[in-house]
A and B are shown apart, each in its own frame.
Chain A
Amino acid sequence: MRHYISIRDLDRNQIDHLIDRAARIAVYGADAQPLKRKILGLLFFEPSTRTRMSFESAMLRLGGSCMNLGGVEVSSMAKGETLADTIRVVSGYADTIVLRHPKVGAARLASEFADVPVINGGDGAGQHPSQTLIDLYTIHQSMPLDRIKIGLVGDLMYGRTTHSLAYALTRYNAEIHAISPKGLGLPESLKHDLREAGCEVIEHDSIEEIIRDLDVLYVTRFQRERFPDPASFFDVAASYRITPSLLQGVKDNLILLHPLPRVDEIDPAVDSLPYARYFQQARNGVPVRMAMLLEVMQ
C-alpha cells in the first residue's frame, strides 16, 4: 500500500513519474471516471483552502466522491478520541485519507493505523509532500529541474514548504540560496542534510544581493507571532517584499513562486509581470493531486 507522507520518502524516479503523470493529465485529462465509486476521506483538523479544495476538485474530476470530517468541534476528537482511533474508523469508510493536522508526525502515525493509503496534507511545521510536488511541477513547466539556482525567501526556520522543497531539490543538484533575517534561517539539521546530499546551500540577508543570478525565487510568508513586537515584524516584512523595482535586471526566465496565501510579501503590481507564476502554481494543485490519487487508488 502506497502512502505519501514525506517528500523524503520519494526518490527522483518516483517524483519524475508523478510530474509526468500530472503533465499528461493537465493536457489530456484523465480517462473517463477512473475513480468512480471510490471515496476520498478529507480529515482536516486545521483550516485550509487550497489543499482541501484542490484535493476535492481532483477527486471529483476523477469521478470519485469526497467525505469531509467537518469541523473538529463536531467530530469525536472533541470527545477526546485519539487520532489513531479516528483513522482506524475512517479507514472503514474511505478508500484513501488526506490528513491535515496541527501535530508534526501525525500523518506518519496515521499511516501506521490506516488500512487505506494516507496522503499527508500538511502536518504542523512538518511535511507537505503534495505542495512540494506542485512546486516542482510548476518549475518543470518553465525549465528543467536539474541544477537550478533557487532563492528561498521568508521564514525558513519554521516554513514547512521550503523545507520539503529543499529536500526534494537535492535530487536535482540544485543550488539553494536561503534568504532570511537572522534567527529565521534554515535549521542547522536541515542544512546538514542538504549538504550531506551534495547540495550547495548559500545564506543571504537580503534578496538584492542574489536575485539577478536566480532561476527561481520562492517566496513565503513571515508569521507575525515569530516577532517580539509588531514594529520589527513590519520592518522585516517591508525589507523582504517583492516589488516591480526589485525585479529589474533579473533573468528573463526567472519565475516567482509562492505557496499562498500571501499577505504583503508580493506587491500586487507584480501579478501582471511575466515572472509571476503563483496563481498558475495554485491551479497546478489539481492535476498534481489527481496524479497522486490515481497512484494510490488505481
Chain B
Amino acid sequence: MNSDKYQEGLLISAIQNGTVIDHITGGEALIVLRILGITGSTNECVSVATNVVSSALGRKDVVKIENRELKDEEVDRIALIAPKATINIIRERRVVEKKGVDIPDTLIGVLRCPNPCCITNTNEPVSSRFSVQGKRLICDYCDTVIGSDISSHII
C-alpha cells in the first residue's frame, strides 16, 4: 500500500462529496483554509492533516472539504502558496476530476499590493492586478514586486 494513502487513511476518512486538496506544502494547510475563507464560524465540514509523510514532498498537508467544489479563482490562490497541490473533486465518493494547480499569467483581485501608495489601495473602483514573471509577482499599476511571503498579501 502507498505510504501516503496509508497515513492519510489513518488520519482522515474519505468524503462523500466535495474537494480534496492534496500535496500542499507541509505546514501550509492553515493558510489554504484562510485563502478559502474557511474559519471556525463557517459551516463547512473540513478535515486537515499536516506534515503527513509523502514520498514526493517529504512532508505534505492534506485538506478535505465536504460539499464544496473549488472555483477556478480559488485554485489560483492556492497555486500561489502550494504550487504542487492537486485538486480532487469528489462526487459520491468517487474522484470525478483531478487537476494540478497552475499559476495564471495575471492575478486579478487575489493579492493586496504591499505599496501603501499604490492606487489600488485607495477607494478607486479597480481590483489589484499582478503579472506573474517566474517567482516574481509585479503590480501592473505601481510595479511593486512581491518576491517572498506571498501568503501574507493574499486577499
Q: Chain A residues in contact with chain B, CB under 8 A?
A: 6, 82-84, 101-106, 108-109, 112, 123-127, 189
Please tell me if the beta carbons of A82 and B125 are within 8 angstroms of each other in the complex. yes
Q: A83-B119, A104-B118, A104-B119 are in contact. Are A109 and B126 (CB under 8 A)?
A: yes
Query: Are B142 and A104 in contact, with the CB atoms below 8 A?
Result: yes
Residues in B whose Cβ lies below 8 Å from that of A125: 117
Please name 18 further chain A to chain B contacts, defined as beta carbons within 8 Å, in addition to the given A103-B119, A104-B118, A104-B144, sorted by A numbering.
A6-B143, A82-B123, A84-B125, A104-B115, A104-B142, A105-B118, A105-B120, A105-B142, A108-B140, A109-B119, A109-B124, A109-B126, A109-B141, A125-B117, A126-B142, A126-B143, A127-B143, A189-B145
- A163, closest chain B residue (CB): B143
B122 at the interface (CB under 8 A from A): yes
Q: Which A residues are CB-close (under 8 A) to B143?
A: 6, 104, 126-127, 189
Chain A, Cβ-Cβ closest to B115: A104
User: How distant is B122 from chain A, measured CB to nearest CB, in Å?
Assistant: 6
CB of A112 within 8 A of CB of B126, answer yes
Inter-chain contacts of A124 with B (CB < 8 A): 117, 142
Check A102 against B124 for contact (C-beta < 8 Å): no
Task: Enumerate chain B interface residues (CB-CB to A < 8 A).
Answer: 115, 117-120, 122-126, 136, 139-145, 147
Provide the bound-state CA to CA distance between A22 and B125, in Å: 37
B16 nearest CB across to chain A (Å): 45
B124 engages A82 (CB within 8 Å): yes
Given A104-B118, A104-B119, A124-B117, A83 and B141 contact (CB-CB distance below 8 Å) = no
Please determine whether A103 and B118 come into contact, CB atoms closer than 8 angstroms: yes
Task: Tell me whether A102 and B117 are in contact (CB under 8 A).
Answer: yes
A189 CB contacts on chain B under 8 angstroms: 136, 143, 145, 147
Across the interface, do B122 and A103 meet the contact criterion of CB distance under 8 Å? yes
- A124 to B120, alpha carbons, bound, how many Å? 13
A6 to B125, CA, bound (A): 21
In the A-B complex, the 10 residue pairs with the smallest Cβ-Cβ separation, listed nearest first, are A105-B141, A104-B142, A105-B119, A189-B145, A105-B142, A103-B119, A106-B119, A108-B141, A109-B119, A104-B117
B122 / chain A contacts, CB cutoff of 8 Å: 83, 103
A residues in contact with B119, CB < 8 Å: 83, 101, 103-106, 108-109, 123
Least CB separation from A85: chain B residue = B125
Bound-state Cα–Cα, A104 to B144, Å: 10
Are the C-beta atoms of B115 and A84 separated by less than 8 Å? no
In the assembly, what is the distance between CA of A108 and CA of B122, in Å? 14
- The CB with the most chain A CB atoms within 10 A, among B117, B120, B139, is that of B117
Closest beta carbon of chain A to B143's beta carbon, Å: 7
Enumerate chain B residues within 8 angstroms of A104, measured Cβ to Cβ: 115, 117-119, 141-144
Between-chain CB contacts (< 8 Å), 6 pairs: A103-B117, A103-B122, A104-B115, A105-B119, A105-B120, A189-B145
The answer to whether B124 and A83 touch across the interface, beta carbons within 8 angstroms, is yes
Tell me the nearest residue of chain B to A126, going by C-beta: B142
Please name the residue on chain B nearest to A6 by beta carbon: B143
Q: Once the chains are docked, how many angstroms separate the CA of A1 from the CA of B83? A: 38
Q: Which residue of A lies closest to B113 (CB)?
A: A105
Report chain A residues within 8 Å CB of B124.
Answer: 82-84, 109
Separation of A126 and B138 alpha carbons in the complex (Å): 13
Q: Please give the distance in Å from B123's CB to the nearest CB on chain A.
A: 6
CA–CA, A189 to B123, complex, Å? 27
Closest to B140 in A: A108
CB distance from A111 to the nearest CB of B (A): 11
Give the shortest distance, in Å, between A289 (CB) and chain B (any CB).
23
Docked Cα-Cα span, A6 to B131, in Å, equals: 16
In Å, the complex CA distance between A84 and B127 comes to 13
Residue in chain A with minimal CB distance to B141: A105
Task: Kindly provide the distance from the CB of A62 to the nearest chain B CB, expressed in whole angstroms.
Answer: 30
Q: Determine if A84 and B126 form an interchain contact, defined as CB atoms under 8 angstroms apart.
A: yes
The smallest C-beta distance from B136 to any residue of chain A, in angstroms, reads 8
Which B residues lie within 8 Å of A102 (CB)? 117
Min CB–CB distance A160 → chain B (angstroms) = 10
A103 to B139, CA, bound (A): 14
